[in-house]
Amino acid sequence: MTFNYARLRAPLSTAVKWQFPLLVFLMLMTAVQSYGQQKKVIALSDMTIPGAFKKIENTYQVKFFYATGTLPVKHITLSSRARSIREVLADLESASGLQFRISGNMIGVIKPYNPMGVSQPIPVIRGRVTDRKGQPLPGTTIRDIITGKGGVTDANGIFIVAAEEGHPLLISSIGYRQQTQIVSGKEPHIAMEEDATSLGGVVVMGYTNKQAAELTGAVQKISGDQLRSSVSSANILSMLKAKTTGMYIVEPTADAGAKGQVLLRGESSLPSGTSAYFGPLIVVDGVISNSQNLQDVVSPADVESITILKDAASTAIYGSRAAQGVIVVTTKRAASNSGVHITLDTRYGAIKQNRAIHMMNTTEVTSLMDKVMQQRWQETPSLQQQFPTAADFIQKRRIYTDDDKNKNYDWEKALFDDGNFSDISLGINSGSEKTMIYAGVDWYKEKGINVGNTFDRRNFRFNLVQNFSKKVSAGLNTSAIIDKTISRNGLPALYSTQPFVTPYNADGSMADSMPVKQSNNFGMPYNTWTQNFLGEKKYDNTSVTDNQHFTGTAWISYRVLPWLSLKTTNTIDYINTHRNSYLDPRSFSGKYGGYPYLFSSSSAAIPNGTLTIADTRFVNFISTNTLSASKQFGKHNLNFLAGTEWAKRTNDANSIDMYNVLAGERNMGAAKNFGSVINVAYGTPYRPSGSYTERASFSAFSELNYNYLAKYYAAASVRTDAFTNFGRNKRYGTFYAISGGWLINKEAFLADVKAIDVLKLRVVHGTSGRDVGDGYLNQTLYAANPNYTYDNINNIGSAITQLENPDISWETTINNTAGIDLSLWKRVELSADLYSKLSKNLLQQVFVGSAQGSFQQYQNVGEVLNKGLELMLNTRNIETRNFSWTTNLNVSFNKNTIQKLYGDSLLDNYNRAYYRYKGEDLNTIKAVRYVGVNPDNGAPLFENFDASGKKQVVEGIGNFANIRNYQSVGSATPKFFGGFTNTFTYKQFSVSAEMWFQVGNYTAMSLINNFQDPTAPFLGRNNVNWQSSQKIWQQPGDKNANYPNVYSSKMDTWRAFDSRSSLVYGNASHIRMRNIRLGYDLSPKTLTKIHAQRAGVFVSMDNVFVIKHKDYVGADPEGASIGTSTSYGGVGIGNANPRRITAGLNVTF
């Protein structure tokens, strides 16, 4: 399916620019129609005061609160007329002698009748507020409705307020449903229930937990249930997509176990040769992880919540590793006094191929080759002299036979197949007053759509919290993730299969090898040979990757004073990756090591079976020690955190190649020789590879949070890091943040505006850093080589590959953010953030002259500016007893601009043909601009610039070596992207639909320049069919063509399909229906019968459809790989993300 982007872009952009502000304006205008001003007709005739309260409650939908036994014995009469609630209360005060205080729809009697006229001291009560899992809720407001007096809970959820017995307390906390509780003689323990659609709740920040009201930065929380509510995947990134603002997630491959890539608020670094990670820092249960993929550290089944930290207010405390944001994962744990609960979640699904394009069949590809050969004969006089007719030329020089024309093998069907997956998770929660345990196991298996591609992951987690006393608590978090990925060796790329070549011998038996039919520049046809992977299925020609990831964290905390605590957390993280890649010597692939073209019948030696074994071991130890304090001084609240953190990381890797391997054996003892296929083919010596790195860091950090009246908030944090990656000159880096927040809805001038639940402003300024990836960038590196030539003799020697830079330092991002959070009528929520991120001292590889020549050196020279706007809108559109409809819409805009570069230029990483300059987008794509087709002869037309700088249109690409001829095609950065989700419920049924959209980014349509070259079939390849949008020039006068005469012999000269031509870059804007889900939850009555707390079933479909730009050519417009060749994207001729059909069951006892 396609859409006309040119028509869509203008209205869509206009809608985004104007509808959000208009919506907020209309909401606020409606909100100011204060409930307190509404008038209703009411009359009271000789009624007691309690009776009068009851009638007023029914008429105005309010609630009176008062202490028992304090109302005077009086009868009240009010004449019948229209009154507002305030007018009624004024008349009631005159008639009864009472006074009232209004808070929303609650009315407190604040001056009860005292017949003795004696003032009594008001007692002080102490209590605690937690969530349903026993976690304290700091910042919760406690207020006596009658007196108006109250307080705020401290960091441990403790409150102390003056309130008389029998008085009602109003307990309110952003993100939780408001409660009232009558004061009794007991110390109250109030457990708050979370409001699922609220802006608030407790937010886990890593080192600390905060109430949403306390947040002064841009933070977004996604619950585990939200995470698991749509797509089915082993990859948490895939499940996060479309659910959060600012997070651009790319899933460029359909392979089983694929992990995807993520950017948060744009790219904050330059593409470089270091092992740079461009995604956010990952923190699990408060501990920094060195893994770069969420899939490697936690199973989706174990996630309690995920918090996205986006700006300096929330990331500066993580210092030198947080310039690209932070993802904080909190795993499941038991609640205090929750008893024992068992949860079982199962899902099974089918994975269907989602191929949008197809290769040519025999008729199509032979017809293509005939046209190319006919055109070549017509344009080549020497061929006309050699062959009397074009038909004669075709007959004698074609690469296929008459018999081949009757063959048509479907290699797509052979290479790709429908897959399946299963996911079974079991969790046990056990919570007593002192001991809380969570144990979970999850087993995910997937058979991918690529033949022989499987993924198997098993996850184990155990979390323990033990409260030894009111002062001492300890905990243990352990996890083990063991996964195995298997892919088939010897599988050909689909484009390298010829439909007129079958995998069978003449007698019908399966062949072990197949001919590759080809010719060189239309010379005599000849064959080379390649493996027949179908005939090799009986051999274990696979690459097996085993990952083992073990993490153990132990912590203990001690409450020195009610307001002062100490905590130490120590973690060891161990990751081992083992890869075993094998080719059986009995197979054609194994005989020639997968490279038969390197050997001939006269070769002195052949590999005769190959084996590669590689191991990588990563060990990380991290120790964090913190002091936290929380103190209330009247109307002032202070929370303080200080800590230190020490970490040491080691990485040990080695790899060895072997050949002459015993059949059926894939261990080192089965190999007779060490070496690679290249060493065997060329007789060169072999050197195994290995490396060892060791790094350490030390950090000191602190954070101060202050609020006044739980209305005005301020926060500041600072962190200093020392890292061995840098030289002593620049080893230390300091990062800071200051921020403020204002809960405007708590101001007196909005007290009567019932429509506004929350109105909060936030501002942030601060810095965060990035530790630039590779170690040893501050040192000079040498490379040894046995083939350095001196005086015509090969010598062993070493050469400098990198010059030292003792001043290399941290990359730093300066972040400024302003945001607003708005909640109306407990139905509409809007969050908006406007940000600016200036990333400085970015690492760039430069060439430095010396007496020995020009050498590469990394220097901190680059600057990139990211600016953006993020909008999140949640609405409860309809909410009745049996039916509800909720909507979530999030939109993110980001624009990056290069501010500074070494030499004011950056060489493109993809085809290295052009430069990006200051003022341009970091992901700008440049090419020689293709402007159409000459209708007279079918030649492609391009724009070139002459020596004077004048633009002119020429046939063919022209001088592509001239940098001036490269013009901007677009950028790989989307102009905006987001998600749109609608959820409908009717009784126990629910239906949801989740969409993803991105607009304005361009990628290389690799299918065109790699798989639609008309000469490729003569080289033993096949081509992709022309798409409906590709109109090939047919004859003189053809003005409808948008592609040149592809059959012409001049195509090589014209270079229309070259990567330097703008023709091969396309608009990757698209809308994807990511998931549709139908669920059914059992009724409470049924749950009681089966003794369950929760039970439900669902069916869903992922990747339902994609609407893409009408001129985009490719299987899927999903974006480019991040951080390297950003201009190269699209899945090309590979599979689009597959369609998944899932059925699942979840039950809790």
Decide if 709 contacts 634 (C-beta within 8 A).
no
In this prediction, residue 26 carries a pLDDT of 42
Looking at residue 470, the DSSP 8-state letter turns out to be: S
* pLDDT tens digits, 788-838: 666 677 677 777 777 778 888 888 999 999 999 999 988 899 999 999 999
Decide if 124 contacts 160 (C-beta within 8 A).
yes
In this prediction, residue 274 carries a pLDDT of 59
Has residue 850 got a pLDDT over 70? no
Q: For 634-682, list the strands marked E by DSSP.
A: 636-661, 671-674
Highest mean pLDDT of the ranges 185-189, 1069-1073, 1083-1087? 1069-1073
* pLDDT tens digits, 725-758: 777 778 888 999 999 999 998 888 888 888 898 8
Has residue 196 got a pLDDT over 50? no
Give the span between the Cα atoms of 410 and 407, in whole angstroms: 10
Q: For residue 380, give every residue at least 6 positions away whose Cβ sits within 8 Å of its Cβ, in sequence order, or none.
A: 1049
254 versus 863: the higher-pLDDT residue is 863
Give residue 190's identity as a one-letter amino acid code: I
- Label residue 919 exposed, middle or buried (CB < 10 Å: 0-12, 13-18, 19+): exposed
- For range 562-583, the mean pLDDT: 95
Decide if 542 contacts 488 (C-beta within 8 A).
yes
358 versus 165: the higher-pLDDT residue is 358
Helix spans in 61-160 (H)? 85-96
* pLDDT tens digits, 930-940: 999 999 999 99
Q: For residue 96, give every residue at least 6 positions away whose Cβ sits within 8 Å of its Cβ, in sequence order, or none.
A: 49, 72, 74, 76
Decide if 1044 contacts 1054 (C-beta within 8 A).
yes
- The per-residue pLDDT of the chain, averaged, comes to 84
Give the span between the Cα atoms of 207 and 201, in whole angstroms: 17
Decide if 646 contacts 697 (C-beta within 8 A).
yes
Q: For 1020-1117, list the strands marked E by DSSP.
A: 1065-1067, 1070-1081, 1094-1109
- For range 840-856, the mean pLDDT: 72
- For range 942-946, the mean pLDDT: 94
Has residue 720 got a pLDDT over 90? yes
Strand partners, 1073: 995, 1105
**Of 31-40, 250-259, 523-532, minimum mean pLDDT range:** 31-40
In this prediction, residue 6 carries a pLDDT of 41
Give the span between the Cα atoms of 816 and 766, in whole angstroms: 7
Has residue 165 got a pLDDT over 80? no
Decide if 358 contacts 1139 (C-beta within 8 A).
no
* pLDDT tens digits, 583-621: 999 999 999 998 888 887 667 789 999 999 999 999 999
Has residue 33 got a pLDDT over 60? no
Rounded-to-5 percentages of helix, strand, coil across the chain: 15, 50, 35
Cα 180 to chain centroid distance, Å, stands at 40
* pLDDT tens digits, 1026-1046: 988 899 999 999 999 999 999
- For range 1118-1125, the mean pLDDT: 47
In this prediction, residue 21 carries a pLDDT of 46
Strand partners, 839: 813, 864
The H helix count followed by the E strand count for the chain is 15, 58
Percentage of residues of the chain with pLDDT beyond 90: 45
Model confidence at 355, in pLDDT bands (50, 70, 90)?
low
Decide if 360 contacts 499 (C-beta within 8 A).
yes
Give residue 334's identity as a one-letter amino acid code: A
* pLDDT tens digits, 384-433: 999 999 999 999 999 999 999 999 999 888 888 889 999 999 999 998 88
In this prediction, residue 1070 carries a pLDDT of 93
In this prediction, residue 64 carries a pLDDT of 82
In this prediction, residue 408 carries a pLDDT of 95
Give the span between the Cα atoms of 1084 and 1093, in whole angstroms: 8
Roughly what angle, to the nearest 10 degrees, separates helices 49-60 and 85-96? 180
Model confidence at 318, in pLDDT bands (50, 70, 90)?
confident
Model confidence at 194, in pLDDT bands (50, 70, 90)?
low
**Of 90-94, 264-268, 967-971, minimum mean pLDDT range:** 90-94
Give the span between the Cα atoms of 323 and 946, in whole angstroms: 44
Roughly what angle, to the nearest 10 degrees, separates helices 362-379 and 390-397? 130
Selecting from 1.10.340.30, 3.40.50.410, 1.10.10.10, 2.60.40.4130, what CATH number does the domain 124-192 have?
A: 2.60.40.4130
Decide if 905 contacts 916 (C-beta within 8 A).
yes
978: its two tokens = 């987001």
104 versus 204: the higher-pLDDT residue is 204
- For range 136-150, the mean pLDDT: 76
In this prediction, residue 1122 carries a pLDDT of 40
Model confidence at 1120, in pLDDT bands (50, 70, 90)?
very low
In this prediction, residue 822 carries a pLDDT of 93
264-297 burial code (b ≥16 CB/10 A, e <16): bbbbbbbbbeeebbbbbbbbbbbbbbbbbbbbbb
Decide if 569 contacts 553 (C-beta within 8 A).
yes
1097: its two tokens = 């079933």
Element (H, E) at 1007: helix 1006-1011
Model confidence at 15, in pLDDT bands (50, 70, 90)?
very low
In this prediction, residue 134 carries a pLDDT of 67
Has residue 356 got a pLDDT over 70? no
Domain boundaries of the chain, sorted by first residue: 2-31, 36-109, 124-192, 224-334, 362-415, 973-1149
Model confidence at 562, in pLDDT bands (50, 70, 90)?
confident
Could you tell me which CATH class the domain 36-109 is placed in? alpha beta
647: its two tokens = 């970490």
Question: The whole model's pTM is what?
Answer: 0.81
Give the span between the Cα atoms of 62 and 48, in whole angstroms: 18
Has residue 22 got a pLDDT over 50? no
Decide if 42 contacts 78 (C-beta within 8 A).
yes
* pLDDT tens digits, 48-77: 888 888 888 888 878 887 766 667 888 888
Could you tell me which CATH class the domain 224-334 is placed in? mainly beta
- Label residue 1091 exposed, middle or buried (CB < 10 Å: 0-12, 13-18, 19+): exposed
* pLDDT tens digits, 1128-1139: 333 344 456 788
Decide if 447 contacts 454 (C-beta within 8 A).
yes
Q: For residue 119, give every residue at least 6 positions away whose Cβ sits within 8 Å of its Cβ, in sequence order, or none.
A: none
664 versus 258: the higher-pLDDT residue is 664
Percentage of residues of the chain with pLDDT beyond 70: 87
In this prediction, residue 931 carries a pLDDT of 95
Q: For residue 582, give every residue at least 6 positions away whose Cβ sits within 8 Å of its Cβ, in sequence order, or none.
A: 489, 540, 541, 542, 543, 610, 611, 612, 661, 666
In this prediction, residue 136 carries a pLDDT of 76
381 versus 125: the higher-pLDDT residue is 381
722: its two tokens = 């020392």
Q: What angle do CA 177, 178, 182 make, to 5 degrees?
A: 135
Model confidence at 276, in pLDDT bands (50, 70, 90)?
low
Specify the 3-state DSSP secondary structure of 750.
helix
